[in-house]
Structure 1
Amino acid sequence: MSELPAAISTQIDDWLAVYDAPDADAAYLLVDRHPADRVAFTQIEVGADGELATTDITFGQLADQSRRLATALAARGIGRGDTVGVLMGKRVELVVSLLAIARLGAIYIPLFTAFASPAIEMRLTGGAAKLVITEPSQVDKVKGIEGVDQLVAGPEFDALLADSSPLEESVAVGGDGTLVLLFTSGTTGNPKGVPVPVRALAAFHAYMQFGLDVSDDDVYWNAADPGWAYGLYYGVLGPMAAGQRNLLLHAGFSPATFVKVLGELGVSNLAAAPTVYRSLSNDPAITGFSLRRASSAGEPLTPDVVSWAVEALGCEVRDHYGQTEHGMFINNHWNDALREPVVPGSMGFAMPGFTCGIERGEIAIDTSASPLLWFTGYLDAPDKTAARFTGPDRTGWYLTADAGRREDDGRFYFTARDDDVIIMAGYRIGPFDVESVLITHPSVVDVAVVGRPDQLRGEVLEAFCVLAPGVVGDDALENELQVLVKEGFAAHAYPRTVHFVDELPKTPSGKIQRFKLRETTP
């Protein structure tokens, strides 16, 4: 790829001057500086008859409601440095809560609504949350979590907004101040907390412009869930930082509803997980759209889906690559100044603001030449942090733990994960979380979970269980174990197949050799 235009380097410097300033105020940067009458989000509800109902929410409305909620949260003892969990689907109250938390200099913990109570409790207690804001459909999951108060969207939430006066002045925590605490998927232990500072908004804004090429004329829709990085960074934070509207579909995924939104809302710039595109491609009736841009993140798309998209959606779908620790940083960029022909199998080029290479066989980021790099370490995990960097004090190369290669033309290719994380429908699932639930069953004495390739979801989970003496593995026990995971960890992360085996392959030191399980015949 040719040398970057000077205008792009200047733009990055300008963003850093704003988002990394010592007096950076997240609420001002996300909302208050934008015209009050500009639409920030369009909330979409699906009626019983399948019809869509839309409501526009302006930056001015978000500013007022978040100021009022901030006053109410302050009255509950929330202040600078405190952590607050938010367990909600794609609804306006989630955005209002995030902004109110930011106005107090507090820290937002996103929680995925498919998680069961134990996974939610782990994140709330791991992040030392004082409060969780949730919705009626999720409230049972947070009842009884010791030391964590609850606030529920609905009459209680609305009353707080109506009865509270707007907070006069937001707390400016500066570019290094933590805005979000997002937990990764665990592989060999509990998920790790990633503190996301205010200055990360510079990288998110850059991806909106360079990777996705969202323009003022676009109807932009990031369909990912805000409980995870791609949906939070580029469905909530990135659009607000850039002053762009996003759509919030408050409903579960179905191809029929998805297509209805594309058509009725006139979506022109779409960002979604590969599973969405694969699901749509299986329906021959989905055709005739004319999107300007379409982007995918989470795992590589297969060539058949890319070919389908050109005919059905009106443009190719471009793969992008990133991590919770950085956001997206290697892309098949859509921006006119950066766009290059897509080469099948390639994730593209390093995004401006990041210098990337291959170090120790892994895709890596040069910390000394990447001004948009914002990750400084995991919460309370110095050893795990040190393992990510080749030099002392978080210097040298940041190692992604994803194996890959870089060709002479600068394009990067993903080859394999060095860890055991499973990517299903764009969601990263650590086997340790699922194994920790399965091993609690009295019939299971040892267990390992791996990913198996799946045409629709990319990967699905399979469990290998060693049973207690005298226990017979049958369909009833398999179903029992699947339900255990759904209720003990997350509804989406249950093993589609449970194998009952005599023993697990292990190294002499006792480490499970999951690669051998993945090589077994389905």
Structure 2
Amino acid sequence: MSDPAPLLRDWIATYDTPTTTVAHLLCDRHDPHTVATTEIGPTLEPTTLTFGELRERSQTLAAGLAAQGITPGDRIATLIPKGVDLTITALATWRLGAVLVPLLSSFAPSAIAERLTDSGARIVICADEHRTKLDPSPHLPTHPTWQIATTGTHPLREGDHTLHTLSQHPPHTTNHTTTGNGDIATVYVSNLIGPPRGVRVPARALTAMHAYHHLGLGVQDDDVYWNTADPGSAYGLYHGLISPLLAGHNSLALRAGFFDPELTLDVLGLYQVTNFASDPTTYRTLRAATKTLPPEIIVQRMASAGEPLAPDVIEWATDLFGVPIRDHYGQTELGWCAGIPNNPDLPEHNTPLPPAAIGPALPGWNIQVLEAITDEPAPPGAYGRIAIDRTHSPLDWFDGYHGYENTIDIRFNPERTYHLTGDTGIMDRQGNLHFSTRDDGAIITRSYRIGPTEVEAVLNTHPAVEECGVYAIPDDIAGHLVGARIVLTDDHTGTPELAEELRDWVSTRFAPHAAPHTVNFVEELPRTASGKMRRARLR
């Protein structure tokens, strides 16, 4: 495959049409006897779901959801780990033309409520173990505007539905069709300032997902594929759930509820994983815990996404596994669009990279680094703003955020239209992208993206906190940890016990991964002459 352009044109013609049928593309067109998902339990036992079973079970669930009043365009939120239940729920959603809103299972009630309210969710479907997060509280109403369903067979609260009871209807056999611009999902991303924003994912984004699955990840028909990312994140949704279904490939889904490097190695060996996609924290943790590789592990391709992967981690993986980790660049708003492809049929597959380079744009994408003042391409090696050349990127799909459709940062010139990603970096003379930093100041910790103001807003609700500033602390395993500088009210004194109380405050009101690792009590925060907090001085 020296030229992937014909393949891209074929996918665009298939996925971006006036009558795109998502359920057909992800399920109904595939061999009903082929396994679609293999869910792995905490003791490593498998539960498989074939495409035929997925079709039947999602049709009956779609009928139950329709009986509850779900119609095209309605939002269905999920708080379900990746696996059989989520796959069935997602397909039922798309059969009705509804929009999936996946939520991170680590979120606390306040973060969940914020996203449910903003999305206008009609129903939230959660795993039984997360049902208490939806109980009435200071953050969640006693009489919510959304219905609640759980994945078990018996309702956990009065008024709850379950996937079992919703699936007691005759199958809903008429699939909704949409245009390529019709939304199929809303995925939330954190902001430096203000609430999280929901990225609108249209049906035509399926083209970019299939392209990355086949060209970027290099998943082949005979691969055993495992993506470890949480389905509440873009990488987990796009390439742990959607792209394998598009390609008709089985994907593994470990339902353990925690990360354990030994368990990860057990899955890699027991299930003979050949294509492994994960995040930098997973690789860094594996390196810290792994001295030798069990002989049954036969991984042939590895990829990383979410934040830049340090060269020494790539060198470690190459020495231990015998294959390099391909570090790929992307965003929730784009999918993944740059890096050395893992598809051996592409000539770029064996291209050597200079230190700290990510690689060239993947097929279907044109990436430029623009000067900050002129919006013209920066000279090779010069820092600038990473931009997508939309005029020459047939896979580009992002048009805006839910409720903020006109906020996408676009630059025009007579020949090209650029979408500014909010990232900075350089492009070297060989066309390799070097990532520098996020312009928006988000903290990436354990591959979760956190807006500092989200953590500050939670801390500021504690009665001891007068004001606070949140910042990133470099860490060898997590990438970054969350740090907080706290100015206390006059009637409180900084103690280790109060610091621990503030960590718990964030953990239970936002998410455990956002809890400050370091809490410092200070007299005042660094500020400019006009009184604005100087974030760069916090650390």
Please indicate the TM-score interval, normalised by the length of the shorter structure.
Answer: over 0.9
For the aligned residue pairs, the C-alpha RMSD in angstroms reads: 1.5
> Aligned runs of 1:250-399 on 2, under 5 Å?
250-251=255-256, 252-287=258-293, 288=295, 289-336=297-344, 337=346, 338-339=348-349, 340-359=351-370, 360=372, 361-382=384-405, 384-385=407-408, 388-391=409-412, 396-399=417-420
Q: Report the CA distance between 1:418 and its aligned residue.
A: 1.4
Further displaced range: 33-42 or 280-289: 280-289
SS at match of 1:89: coil
Deviation at 1:374, TM superposition (A): 0.5
Partners of 1:456 and 1:24 in 2: CA distance: 42
| Contact residue 75 and residue 120 of structure 2 kept, 8 A | yes
For residue 119 of structure 1, report the CA deviation from its aligned partner.
0.3
1:89 positional shift: 1.1
Residue 130 of structure 1 is matched in structure 2 by 122
SS of the residue corresponding to residue 347 of structure 1 reads coil
Q: Is the 8 A contact 2:149 2:163 kept in 1?
A: no
CA contact (8 A) 1:425 1:457 kept: yes
User: What is the CA-CA distance between 1:90 and the residue it aligns to?
Assistant: 2.0
* Residue of structure 1 equivalent to 2:205: 200
Alignment-mate amino acid for residue 25 of structure 2: L
Name the counterpart of 2:95: 103
In the superposition, the TM-score normalised over structure 1's length comes to 0.94
**Structure 1 segments unaligned to the other structure (5+ residues):** none
Contact 1:71 1:166 (8 Å CA) reproduced:
yes
Q: How does 1:143-162 map to 2 (within 5 A)?
A: 143-144=135-136, 145=140, 146-156=144-154, 157-160=162-165, 162=167
- One-letter amino acid of the structure 2 residue matched with residue 311 of structure 1: D
Partner of residue 466 from structure 1, selected from 484, 487, 495: 487
2:379 maps to: none
The one of 67, 70, 82 aligned to 1:90 = 82
Given residue 392 of structure 2, which amino acid in structure 1 is its aligned partner?
A
Does residue 489 in structure 1 map to residue 510 in structure 2? Answer: yes
SS of 2:487's equivalent in the other structure is strand
One-letter code aligned to 2:272: G
Per-residue CA shift, 1:432-480, capped at 9, x if unaligned? 1111100001111111111110000100100111111242111011011
Contact 1:318 1:342 in 2 (8 A): no
Q: Distance in 2 between matches of 1:206 and 1:342?
A: 22
Look up the equivalent residue of 2:11 and give its one-letter code.
W
Pick which of 330-339 and 112-121 moved more: 330-339
Is the contact between residue 63 and residue 167 of structure 2 (CA under 8 Å) also seen in structure 1?
A: no
**Residue number in structure 2 paired with 1:36:** 32
Tell me if structure 2 keeps the 8 A contact 1:448–1:464. Answer: yes
- Residue 421 of structure 2 is aligned to residue 400 of structure 1: yes
Query: Structure 2: which amino acid aligns with 1:164?
Result: H
Contact 1:180 1:195 in 2 (8 A): yes
Q: Could you tell me how far apart the structure 2 residues matched to 1:483 and 1:99 are? A: 37
Q: Percent identity?
A: 41
What residue in structure 1 maps to residue 477 of structure 2?
A: 456
Q: Partner of 1:64 in structure 2?
A: 56
Q: CA deviation at 1:159?
A: 2.8
Is this contact kept in 2: 1:259–1:286, CA < 8 A? Answer: no
Checking the alignment, whether the CA contact within 8 Å between 1:68 and 1:160 is kept in structure 2 is no
Three-state SS of the structure 1 residue aligned to 2:40 is strand
How far the C-alpha of 1:242 sits from its partner, in A, is: 1.1
**Deviation at 1:383?**
5.9
Instruction: Find out whether 1:475 has 2:496 as its counterpart.
Output: yes
Provide the residue aligned with 2:157 in structure 1. Answer: none
Q: Which moved more, 1:77-86 or 1:497-506?
A: 497-506
Which secondary structure state, in structure 2, belongs to the residue aligned with residue 34 of structure 1?
coil
Q: Where does structure 1 differ by over 4 angstroms across 4 or more consecutive aligned residues?
A: none
Could you give the per-residue CA deviations for residues 54-82 of structure 1, whole angstroms, max 9, x where no partner exists? 12211111111110000000000001011
Matched, 1:216 2:221: yes
Please name the residue that 2:20 is paired with.
Answer: 24
Is 71-80 or 399-408 further displaced after alignment? 399-408
2:423 matched to 1:410?
no
Aligned partners of 2:167, 2:330: CA distance in 1, in Å?
40
What is the aligned partner in structure 2 of residue 173 from structure 1? Answer: 178
In 2, distance between residues paired with 1:409 and 1:292?
A: 27
Report the Cα distance in structure 1 between the residues aligned to 2:533 and 2:440, rounded to whole angstroms: 12
State yes or no: 1:185 paired with 2:190. yes
Which of 135, 141, 152 is matched with 2:133 structurally? 141
Contact 1:221/1:270 (8 A) holds in 2: yes
Unaligned runs of 5+ in 2: 155-161, 373-383
Please give the TM-score of this superposition, normalised by the length of structure 2: 0.91
User: Any idea what SS the aligned residue of 2:358 has?
Assistant: strand
In the alignment, does 2:512 pair up with 1:516?
no
